[in-house]
Amino acid sequence: MDQKNRKLYQLRGNEFKHGETTKDIHIRLLNENGGVVKPDPAHHWEAKVASRDESGKKKYRGSFPVKLNGSEVLIDSEDLTELTPNEYSFEIWETYTDDKNETVVYPSPGTTMSFTVQPTVQDSESE
């Protein structure tokens, strides 16, 4: 596989209902060799989320907290309840202070990860 197009993450739980507060998106970050990147809890981690608006233009929707659980990064659906039913793309940002204040953005350049917020029956009634 071309190194540039290699998917450097594993993702599960990336589809849930609007307003649902009990689901987690599980992300496992991988290095260029396919090995798992163990997130450092001493660093600051967050998810930056975007979606397309009605005209198809990509729009930034905000930063959301993440949790670390061993080798996984988790995004809790409870933190995403303000998002309306739609397809979303996101990146995981890792920031830490060393001799230079570093920021690492996952996944690899040219790619994003995605999740879907599905409408509920209640959402259908309001249309």
The full DSSP string for 29-42 is: EB-TTSPBP---TT
Domain membership of residue 127 (yes or no) is no
Instruction: Look at residue 30 and tell me if it is in a domain.
Output: yes
59 domain residue, yes or no: yes
Residue 12, in any domain of the structure: yes
DSSP 68-107: EETTEEEEEGGGGTTSPSEEEEEEEEEEE-SSS-EEEEES
What is the rounded CA–CA span in Å between residue 117 and residue 50? Answer: 13
Quote the CA–CA distance of 35 and 86 in Å, as a whole number: 32
Domain CATH for 57: 2.60.40
Q: What angle do CA 21, 37, 17 make, to 5 degrees?
A: 20
Domain of 25, in residue numbers = 3-120
Residue 3: per-residue pLDDT: 46
Assigned domain for 126 exists:
no
Q: Is residue 54 part of a domain?
A: yes
Residue 11 lies inside a defined structural domain of this protein: yes
pLDDT tens digits along 84-109? 999 999 999 999 988 888 999 999 88
For residue range 20-77, what is the model confidence (pLDDT) as tens digits?
999 999 999 998 888 999 999 999 999 999 999 889 999 999 999 999 999 999 999 9
Total domains present in the chain: 1
Q: Is residue 99 part of a domain?
A: yes
Closest CA to 64 of 50, 54, 84: 50
**The predicted structure's pLDDT at residue 34:** 86
The pLDDT value recorded for residue 125 is: 65
